Chains A and B, each alone.
Chain A
């Protein structure tokens, strides 16, 4: 690695010059985690999207506020600059579809989705349930509640209603949600779901949902779930594998979580051939509550003035563990959070969690139970009294819908990427290099992917 000092006024020119030369794996400005933008940031009317100080080059971004929720995750992937392509510019033709399109459908296969939540009510276009009982009888009725909350949360990350003067924006902007429920009604909060039958889904039900989503002509399938594994890219569960294979063959973009066990293999269906597997990143700002003990895979130390994004310790990875910008990598990484243990019962640090919506119909052990109900208070100015249930949560589950939403945003402006291989190639070739050995092809940068998709003649 070489460090070159240049006057501030010449940074852009030097950066551009170095990039145009061969032999450089990556070029970055110290303290900067994203490349410069040819767009002006465009913030939709979503207060929490605007909640963090706008990214400014060469200064510490992601300024935290103890009182205002915010989406550092969306700023990390450059969503406000991707949205900027909805505005006029000199090197591209502005398109309103850069804010997303309701004609692009994202299937969320999860615990259910709270259709009454004001951030989802306008985005959910279809709901279906596939949950088998103990006698393997599969219910196919429609259910519009989510007692767990997980499905509502990931739906919000992918496509919370954008520009509606409420809370959050989704990475997919105005995309539509096709909401599938494959997890049963839990008998507890599922805060420790591994091995809990009431907090697990059968692969038969997941396969059923995938097949229905394909029949509904969705563009993207997002699965923040997994288990088992693959042999040479073949899912060891034949039922699930066949459904995924059919979806890939139908040119549906399938995105799935890598897993949270911190091991060197990706779980199924993320490891299935053609699926875009997603690992999780977090920010380390060197603060007491935020510094994790895990630093072995990254090369840069963090401090309050040099916040470092890194791949979370728990995030699983495949082989090769790192192949920046290569579509041959095991997958891509995106914000998923990485709270330290003392944040689970004490003061939380915004930068180590993903904040998004939560179900308004949570599991309750008894009437009046307030555990895990989230914060449903009408506590920001533009709610007009509408509760904005939300929570802090972390995992590769949360990273996954960032990629699914980004894919939907790209498809809104350029349908030629409606191919699993083409989409992975685009997202990987435009990803950011975190200099972390578990990053796969890098961290999702939806701004730069959008630049290519809209034909920006001067992409960064």
Chain B
């Protein structure tokens, strides 16, 4: 007769743990994405312009 070691998880508990781990990983990814969201400046073009010489330098 095979005995399970004390504290070993049943298949059902393993599956449950996997689901929780996946959910946690997903939450972490979302949190990471949330914290890394960025905004950019909305300039279309810029030119430091030496007006007197009629050219962009």
CB of B28 to closest CB in A, whole Å: 14
Q: Which A residues are in CB contact (< 8 Å) with B44?
A: 260, 280, 312, 314, 336-339, 394-396
Taking a contact as CB atoms under 8 Å apart, the answer to whether A183 and B41 are in contact is yes
Taking a contact as CB atoms under 8 Å apart, the answer to whether A202 and B35 are in contact is yes
Q: Which B residues are in CB contact (< 8 Å) with A398?
A: 43
Known: A238-B34, A347-B55. A201 touches B48 (CB 8 A): no
Taking a contact as CB atoms under 8 Å apart, the answer to whether B56 and A201 are in contact is no
Write the chain B residue with the least CB distance to A370. B57
Which parts of A374-414 form the interface with B (CB within 8 Å)?
Answer: 374-375, 377, 379, 391-398, 400
What total of A-B pairs shows CB separation below 8 Å? Answer: 139
How distant is the Cα of A195 from the Cα of B41 in the complex, in angstroms?
A: 11
User: Quick one: which of A195, A204, A228, A392 contacts B47, CB cutoff 8 A?
Assistant: A392
As a 0/1 sequence over residues 26 to 57 of chain B, the CB contacts with chain A under 8 angstroms (1 = contact) are 00000000111111111111111111101111
Flag whether A345 is at the interface (Cβ < 8 A).
yes
How distant is the Cα of A239 from the Cα of B54 in the complex, in angstroms?
A: 45
Taking a contact as CB atoms under 8 Å apart, the answer to whether B35 and A259 are in contact is no
Flag whether A145 is at the interface (Cβ < 8 A).
no
Q: Which A residues are in CB contact (< 8 Å) with B39?
A: 200-203, 206, 225-228, 240, 268
Write the chain B residue with the least CB distance to A183. B41
Known: A370-B57, A375-B51. A339 touches B45 (CB 8 A): yes
Q: Which A residues are in CB contact (< 8 Å) with B35?
A: 136, 202, 204
Q: Which A residues are in CB contact (< 8 Å) with B43?
A: 150, 193, 224, 260, 393-395, 397-398
Flag whether A353 is at the interface (Cβ < 8 A).
yes
Taking a contact as CB atoms under 8 Å apart, the answer to whether A345 and B46 are in contact is no
Q: Which A residues are in CB contact (< 8 Å) with B46?
A: 149-150, 191, 372, 391-394
Known: A394-B43, A397-B43. A239 touches B34 (CB 8 A): yes
Write the chain A residue with the least CB distance to B47. A392
Which parts of A308-328 form the interface with B (CB within 8 Å)?
Answer: 312, 314
User: Quick one: which of B34, B42, B52, B57 contacts A225, CB cutoff 8 A?
Assistant: B42
As a 0/1 sequence over residues 254 to 266 of chain A, the CB contacts with chain B under 8 angstroms (1 = contact) are 0001111000000
